[in-house]
Structures are given as structure tokens and as C-alpha cells.
């Protein structure tokens, strides 16, 4: 009886393993089909910007790749990504099987380190079940869908940086009397009006617990400002937890410092990134 029970136990384990393998193959096939399927050309770009004060406040442990861990807190919006979107509130993703190559953007790396850092410690997912730097995720998922406006990796990151510097959101807000502060509340309508006045189009704002988490500027395919879609027009595309209340904050944060200087952190970032590239 003991042998029969053990045999039944082994058969059950084998069945579970076979089911897991089948499920994994099925998920892989669905991903491959989605990536391989031709996706229609996008309608507009969204330049997604992160507010470090909201995101970094939840940092519980530090690592070299996390911009929240620098000795001096980040006090300006940083780039999340440049996203091709559709007017119906959806978006293309992973349009070409083109792997991220750090060598192609080496001239931009010091600027990317400063203005486009990851604000998390975990590695980012890439389009084909891999892991890599934050920039790899943005290029493979969004950059590969940016044609015919943007056609290669260097152009993708250069375009995002050009838009970021040309349309400085922190300066736009300051010109409308919205200043960085720790806990001071501002009317959501005042924040939107300040952006509209300086930018010439309506932004999209995402909040977390009453604080700005992301602010998105939108551009047509000629890279001219246009209104972003609202949550109403996208049929509630943003969840209720991401909605902003009538009054919002742009908080600061106290960093958990990994090392004594930003220079040391950047050096460690370079070591980790190149180590990843040479071992993957």
C-alpha cells in the first residue's frame, strides 16, 4: 500500500509538471503570436514623466540602479518613456524582435543616467520573457513601435530627451505658481492650466494617494503638442486608484543613501550594466 501511495504521489507530481509545461508553452505561444502579428501604425506619442517624490517615498531598500538611492534627492520630473499610443486608448507593444544594445546609446548614457533613471531596484521585463535595464524595457516594448517617426534605438532615446528638455515640465509648473514643496496642496485644475498655458495642450496626470505620480505630455507624429486623452474618452482606462483628487501634492522625499556620492553610484551602475551585457 505504501508503494502504491508513493506511485500515485509521483504520478500526481508528473501530471502537475506536464500541466505547468503546457501552460508555459501556451503563454509563450500567445506572446510570440502577439509580437509577431503586424500592428497598425500608432496615432500619437505620450512622453511619460515620473515624479520621484511620490515613487521614491516607498523605497525600502537600495541598489545602484535605483535613482532614488542617490545621496541628493531627485527634484525634477524624470523620464519614464516615450510611448506610441492609439486614439482609442490602447497602444501597440513589442512590434519588432529587436534587442536592446547599450553600445548604440553610449553617447547618451550620462544624460540618461541623470534624467532617465530607473526608480526601482528590480530588473525590467523585456518583450521576449527576458530581463534587462529599464532602458531595454522602454526600447523593446515602446521604441520598436515608433516607426515611421523613429526607426532605431539611438533616435528613440534622442527624441525622448529632446522633447524632455524642450518642454520642461518643472519650469512650466513654476511659471504657473506651482512649486515643488513637501506636502503643500495645489488645485488639480491649477496644475493642468499651468501646463496648458505653457505647453499649449492638455496633459494627463496620474496620482497615487493624492500625490502626482506621473505627468504625460502628448505629441502628434510631427512632434507638435496635442491634447492627451482623458480617462473619460478612454473609457476609464486609468483605474480609480490612479485618479487624482481635486487637490494634489508634489512631495519631496528623504533618500535611503546607497553610497556617499552620486559619482560612486553612477560608477556602480555602469559596472552592473556592463556586467549584465557581457554575461547575458
Residues annotated as part of the active site: 80, 138, 142
Classify each residue of 124-155 as buried b or exposed e, where b means 16 or more C-beta atoms within 10 Å of its C-beta.
bebbeeeebbbbbbbbbbbbbbbeebbeebee
Instruction: Give the SS3 label for residue 131.
Output: strand
Helices marked H in the chain — which ranges?
2-36, 52-55, 109-115, 134-141, 153-166, 169-175, 188-199, 262-279
Torsion 23-24-26-27 (CA) sign:
positive
Give me the DSSP letters along 136-159.
HHHHHHTGGG-TTT--SHHHHHHH
Phi, psi of 270 (to 5 degrees): -60, -40
Burial label for 17, CB within 10 Å (0-12, 13-18, 19+), is exposed
Amino acid at each position: 500500500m505504501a508503494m502504491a501511495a508513493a506511485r500515485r504521489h509521483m504520478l500526481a507530481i508528473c501530471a502537475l509538471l506536464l500541466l505547468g509545461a503546457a501552460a508555459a508553452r501556451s503563454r509563450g505561444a500567445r506572446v510570440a503570436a502577439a509580437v509577431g502579428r503586424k500592428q497598425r501604425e500608432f496615432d500619437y506619442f505620450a512622453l511619460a514623466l515620473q515624479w520621484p517624490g511620490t515613487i521614491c517615498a516607498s523605497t525600502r531598500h537600495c541598489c545602484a540602479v535605483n535613482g532614488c538611492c542617490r545621496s541628493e534627492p531627485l527634484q525634477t520630473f524624470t523620464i519614464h518613456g516615450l510611448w506610441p499610443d492609439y486614439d482609442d486608448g490602447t497602444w501597440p507593444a513589442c512590434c519588432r524582435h529587436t534587442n536592446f544594445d547599450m553600445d548604440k546609446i553610449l553617447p547618451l548614457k550620462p544624460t540618461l543616467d541623470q534624467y532617465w533613471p530607473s526608480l526601482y531596484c528590480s530588473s525590467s521585463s523585456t518583450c521576449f520573457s527576458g530581463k534587462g535595464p529599464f532602458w531595454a524595457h522602454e526600447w523593446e516594448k515602446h521604441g520598436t513601435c515608433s516607426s515611421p517617426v523613429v526607426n532605431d534605438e539611438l533616435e528613440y532615446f534622442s527624441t525622448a530627451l529632446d522633447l524632455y528638455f524642450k518642454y520642461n515640465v518643472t519650469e512650466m509648473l513654476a511659471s504657473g505658481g506651482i512649486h515643488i514643496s513637501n506636502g503643500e496642496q495645489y488645485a488639480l485644475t491649477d496644475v493642468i492650466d499651468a501646463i496648458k498655458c505653457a505647453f499649449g495642450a492638455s496633459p494627463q496626470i496620474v496620482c497615487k494617494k493624492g500625490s502626482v505620480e506621473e505627468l504625460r505630455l502628448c505629441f502628434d507624429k510631427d512632434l507638435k503638442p496635442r491634447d492627451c486623452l482623458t480617462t473619460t474618452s478612454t473609457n476609464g482606462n486609468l483605474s480609480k486608484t490612479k485618479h487624482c483628487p481635486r487637490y494634489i501634492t508634489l512631495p519631496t522625499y528623504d533618500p535611503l543613501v546607497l553610497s556617499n556620492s552620486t559619482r560612486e553610484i553612477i560608477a556602480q551602475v555602469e559596472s552592473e550594466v556592463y556586467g549584465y551585457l557581457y554575461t547575458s
